[in-house]
Amino acid sequence: MFVILFDIDGTMLCLKKKIAKDIFLQVLRDTFSIEIDKDIYVDFAGRTDYGIVLSIFNQLGLQSNLLDSKIDDVYRAIHHYFVQELSDEHIAPCQGVLNLLSLLHNDKRFALGVITGNFELNARLKLNLLGIDNYFQFGAYGDNQINRLKLPIIAINNAHKIYPSLIPDNCLIIGDTHLDIESAHHNNIKSLAVATGGMSVSDLTQFQPSLAFEDFSDYNQVYKMILKLFNLE
């Protein structure tokens, strides 16, 4: 069995309108009764949600134990806003990804999982809105992890529960940022980079992914290259 771990934002789901920063800041203002400037720097690309919220706290000089005491409330409130705000007006599947997922899902040599910085409740919301939640049997999420490098081993351990004979050499991470590639390298896993997020192919290839594509518009070719990567031609 070969495992493919898909990132969500920028890889499978493309946002037409940026809403996450406003939601995160408003929830933190409401939950902790604090003032936060709307222009505070927040980097979402490839980060875990826990790491994002913690970075805001650090900039404000607040202690992490205050955040940890209410992190479940924070996630529930963020999810509530996303349920209200996310719609076809704001999101779309990235080009070709639905066709690629269908090919991989129908090839019984592959098992699909998610590897995402989203906390699990929000990740499942996004997958459901795209109509692809049934493709994924396991995953790793950003609920309480600062370091994305740790997510692959969590996902693999969860996959092991379903496929006990799985070995890391039979895994592939698909993502749109250098952090996805770095997490694959750190765990000796193959990686496929796609430039449907904020980075170009030339930027991504500097981090030496196993494969790199502009997008998945030629999904048949992407599928064939994944087969070749695993010597499944």
- DSSP structure string for 180-214: HHHHHHHTT-EEEEETTSSS-HHHHHTT--SEEES
CA dist 144 → 11, 37, 66, 113, 150 (Å)? 22, 25, 14, 19, 11
Mean pLDDT score, 112-123: 96
Question: What is the predicted pLDDT for the residue at 90?
Answer: 80
Q: What pTM, to 2 d.p., does this model score? A: 0.93
The number of angstroms, rounded, from the C-alpha of 146 to the middle of its chain's C-alpha atoms is 14
Domains of the chain: 2-15+91-229 (3.40.50.1000), 20-85 (1.10.150)
CA distance 30 to 215: 39
Check: CB of residue 190 under 8 Å from CB of residue 184: yes
Residue-wise pLDDT for 173-231, tens only, equals 999 999 999 999 999 999 999 999 989 999 999 999 999 999 999 999 999 999 999 99
Question: What is the predicted pLDDT for the residue at 147?
Answer: 85
Residue-wise pLDDT for 29-87, tens only, equals 999 999 999 999 998 877 899 999 999 999 999 888 888 899 999 999 999 999 998 87
CA distance 17 to 140: 25
The number of angstroms, rounded, from the C-alpha of 3 to the middle of its chain's C-alpha atoms is 16
Question: What is the predicted pLDDT for the residue at 17?
Answer: 72
CA distance 123 to 12: 11
CA distance 47 to 118: 8
Question: What is the predicted pLDDT for the residue at 142?
Answer: 93
CA distance 171 to 148: 17
Question: What is the predicted pLDDT for the residue at 45?
Answer: 77
Return phi, psi of residue 17, to 5°. -140, 130
Mean pLDDT score, 160-182: 90
Question: What is the predicted pLDDT for the residue at 135?
Answer: 96
The amino acid occupying position 88 is D
Mean pLDDT score, 89-102: 93
More confident residue, 74 or 89: 74
